């Protein structure tokens, strides 16, 4: 058994080394528009299903007519031991008060390592998004890493994004999201999050928590405000998330 485990670790070591280098080597960050969403964690529960709602309310960026509100509703389910799939509908409400169903998205998360197997926990996220009204497509690959320090937890997401279509200029982008969280209790976990993209960056406090309603039934929530960290960024962006696991 020890020999098998050693072979397994040797097989994964080069892949994890590549991911580590992607995180520590400075990256050009090009993602445009709103960069505030949520910070992903690399874990998959083999029996989990969930319904999730998340929204962001952002101030207008200088020289941009950004949607003031973005709403996302999704359903997800585990696929085996290490995969989690999710289908999402995305809508926005403009500053003129118009509410439009903007796009749909497929998301697939792959947990690469068992929790505690290495000094940090690793995963990969794949997303495909397509707009309804325009010929705009986006494919995103994200590297997810998390490490615990006693009651503190740090998570990082590095995204590589390709956009294409007849209604958009084809371009490659990257983005970065970071979270430092203190696990005070299951009901209350204060955190600080940082987001950065080409035309926006921000940092601010977030509060996370969860409530159990029985066997495998739990409501997770997140709420926070991200303040602009550059002249091109919105002054503030409020983000909110509700996630029901069953």
Asked whether residue 4 carries a pLDDT value surpassing 90, the answer given is no
CATH number, domain 2-245: 2.40.160.40
Tell me the whole-structure pTM to 2 decimals. 0.85
pLDDT digits (tens, 9 = 90+) for 170-200: 999 999 999 999 999 999 999 999 999 877 8
Average pLDDT over residues 112-124: 95
pLDDT tens figures, 61-101: 777 766 679 999 999 999 999 999 999 999 998 767 788 99
Return the domain boundaries, the chain: 2-245
pLDDT score recorded for residue 140: 97
Q: Can you tell me the distance from the alpha carbon of 146 to that of 207, in angstroms, rounded to the nearest whole number?
A: 18
Task: Give the span between the Cα atoms of 123 and 115, in whole angstroms.
Answer: 11
Q: What is the mean pLDDT of the chain?
A: 87
pLDDT band for 59, please (50, 70, 90 cuts).
confident
> What's the pLDDT at 68?
78
pLDDT at residue number 214? 86
């Amino acid at each position: 058994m020890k020999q098998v485990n050693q072979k397994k670790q040797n097989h994964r070591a080069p892949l994890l080394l590549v991911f580590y280098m992607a995180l520590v080597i400075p990256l050009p960050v090009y993602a445009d528009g709103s960069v505030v969403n949520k910070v992903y964690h690399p874990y998959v529960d083999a029996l989990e299903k969930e319904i999730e709602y998340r929204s962001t309310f952002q101030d207008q960026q200088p020289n941009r007519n950004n949607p003031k509100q973005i709403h996302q509703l999704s359903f997800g389910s585990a696929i085996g031991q290490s995969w989690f799939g999710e289908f999402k509908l995305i809508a926005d409400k403009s500053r003129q008060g118009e509410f439009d169903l903007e796009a749909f998205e497929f998301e697939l998360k792959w947990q690469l390592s068992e929790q505690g197997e290495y000094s940090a926990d690793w995963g990969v996220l794949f997303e495909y998004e397509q707009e309804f009204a325009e010929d705009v497509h986006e494919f995103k690959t994200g590297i997810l890493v998390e490490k615990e320090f006693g009651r503190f937890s740090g998570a990082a997401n590095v995204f590589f994004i390709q956009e294409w279509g007849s209604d958009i200029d084809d371009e490659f982008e990257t983005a970065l999201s970071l979270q430092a969280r203190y696990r005070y209790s299951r009901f209350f976990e204060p955190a600080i999050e940082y987001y950065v993209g080409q035309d926006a960056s921000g940092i601010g406090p977030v509060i996370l928590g969860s409530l159990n309603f029985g066997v495998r039934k739990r409501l997770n929530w997140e709420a926070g405000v991200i303040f602009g960290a550059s002249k091109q960024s919105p002054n503030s962006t409020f983000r909110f998330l509700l996630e029901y696991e069953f």
